[in-house]
Amino acid sequence: MLTDKKLYIPEHVGIIMDGNGRWAKKRAMPRSVGHTYGARTFKKITRYISKCGVKYLTLYAFSTENWKRPLEEVNALMKIFRQYLIDSLTDFREDDIKVNFIGDRSAFAKDIIDLINETEDVAKNRKGMQLNIAMNYGGRDEILSAVKALCTEAENGSIDVSAITEDDISRRLYTSGQPDPDLIIRTGGEHRLSNFMLYQAAYAEFYSTDTLWPDFDEEEFDKAIIEFNKRSRRFGGV
């Protein structure tokens, strides 16, 4: 646990959970095994981050592009999602973590959609950290949806096009009402956002680690926070 009281804990952290498949391949295991171990890391690290004092945590679980993966892998991921959702009806209850799903849930099977809705309903009155799970999520798709919503409102006269502000766009994103991420962590050694929170990440600090997601632990998160505290955030200023 982070003990240095001088460290600033970011209000909102986003994590691109990458490396499950490579973790399994290194061990001559099917990619689905990597996803199973990654799900265990997800639960453990979420609880730890909540205890560190982060108020909002957004985890990239399944992108709009992930449907292009082999059918066997997609089916394995859906099986893991189902089990996670069943477990989540009781998971994080003692931690008082509020669970929210961002992305286009309409593409999922009805039983998964029902479980998503039930999970959110069960957790809606919790007062602790806000956990956003990005499923069938894409940053471009999110922005497109916001633009379409604004266009519809402009057509029916409920909003003046010339008066549209950045806040108007933000309020129509999946993360409406939440602060933009201060820090985005990517595991697995890659150095790109991969369509994750493109609008919200304008001034987020980016931290990449070679550690594959199933191996990402409390110590690795602490390293990211320590590095974050070394950055000088000027938000376009001097």
List the catalytic residues.
Answer: 18, 66
In degrees and rounded to multiples of 5, residue 154 shows phi and psi of -70, -40
Cβ atoms 81, 135 nearer than 8 A: yes
Give the C-alpha separation, 15 to 209, whole Å: 11
With tokens 């266009």, the residue in question is: 151
Give the C-alpha separation, 87 to 102, whole Å: 19
Angle at 189 between CA 185 and CA 191, to 5 degrees: 65
Give the C-alpha separation, 70 to 91, whole Å: 30
